[in-house]
Amino acid sequence: MTLQNDLILRTARGEKTERTPVWLMRQAGRILPEYRAVRDKVKDFIELATTPELAAEVTLQPVDILGVDAAIIFSDILVIPEAMGLPYEMIEKRGPYFPETVKSLADVNKLRIADAQADLGYVLEAIKIVKRALNGRMPLIGFAGAPWTIFAYMVEGSGSKTFSKAKRMLYTEPVLSHQLLQKITDSTIQYLKGQITAGADLVQLFDSWAGILSPEQYRSFALPYISQICDAIPEVPKTVFAKDAWFARQELAQLNCETIGLDWTMDPIESRKIIGNGKTLQGNLDPCVLYASYEGIRRETGKMLQAFGPHRHIANLGHGLYPDIEPDKVRCFIDAVKEFRFIP
């Protein structure tokens, strides 16, 4: 099926487009009253994410309400550990919690390589529902967590400022760490291929905790596994978003992906010089700009767009939306992107 709005796909492939496309990380969710109404129907976040009809409903909400150029499937990066045999809970206002964590080789051996259909069929079903509902209006983005970020949660057991347990394992048990990272990588490849078969038009890897590793550790324990995933998925454009990994932009540029996501600490002009013209860049407005006045949002959005330039840029935030940002402010950002005209 030919897409009516294929701006993001054309931009990812490096084609010239009539305007800069825009979507938002965490657009499906917390800022929208419509999302909260659906969320109130279920006991917790995990039930919402694992009920295909409801996950599809909240995926579609921002398409009409906010006017974005792509939908992104409503899910969670931690479905992968669950599918591998390490279940988690989502504690309200605290985040994810793993009752059991990976501590030893025996724990790694107990884990299975996730099967997309058998273990994660609810995500694939949600993708199919969304694709039918979109009916070719725009692309659907699939996603997964990058292996190091998933590893960090599986070893630490929850979010953390330091992830010192996970990092300790890298230093004290490097062989074991690589075994776990490989299992996560194999599971993630299967999962993303399943998403693509179900209908995802492009996919994004979120390396949310990239920035807590040293450059040397990132080269050893993160990049090789991201590279494996990129190489294994030729079917659709791929985006790699490694938060706070400003030190790895040169290496990220070498990956077999079309788009590199930037957080708000990475200057667009400097990043383009480092990464080169062979990749599309995505980002990178500070989400806190959306607390500013409407005039302030339009001004900062214009500065960002001008810095990236008219080609090979997908407008987004430098991280996900925060729950207390007003939907009208988000719409202001999206409209500002659509209305912007570049100054030669």
Domain 7-339: which topology? TIM Barrel (3.20.20)
Rounded to two decimals, the pTM is 0.97
Catalytic residue among 6, 26, 218, 249: 26
Q: What percentage of the chain has pLDDT greater than the value 90?
A: 97
**Is 153 marked active-site?**
yes
Shortest CA distance to 68 belongs to which of 261, 321, 252, 311?
321
Shortest CA distance to 196 belongs to which of 136, 127, 132, 258?
127
pLDDT higher than threshold 90 for residue 223: yes
Domain positions in the chain: 7-339
What does the pLDDT read at residue 162? Answer: 96
Catalytic residue among 35, 153, 191, 225: 153
Catalytic residue among 13, 19, 30, 219: 30
The band of 156, judged by pLDDT with boundaries at 50, 70 and 90, is very high
Sign of the dihedral through C-alpha 255, 259, 265, 271: positive
What does the pLDDT read at residue 193? Answer: 98
What does the pLDDT read at residue 92? Answer: 83
**Is 26 marked active-site?**
yes
**Is 76 marked active-site?**
yes
| Total residue count of the chain as it appears in this document | 344
Q: Return d(Cα 10, Cα 6) in angstroms, integer.
A: 6
Catalytic residue among 10, 13, 39, 299: 39
Q: What is the pLDDT of residues 166-199, one digit of tens each?
A: 999 999 999 999 999 999 999 999 999 999 999 9
Upstream peptide bond of 135 is cis (omega within 30 degrees of 0) = no
Per the listing, tokens 């500070």 go with: 286
pLDDT, mean over the chain: 97
Q: What is the pLDDT of residues 41-54, one digit of tens each?
A: 999 999 999 999 99
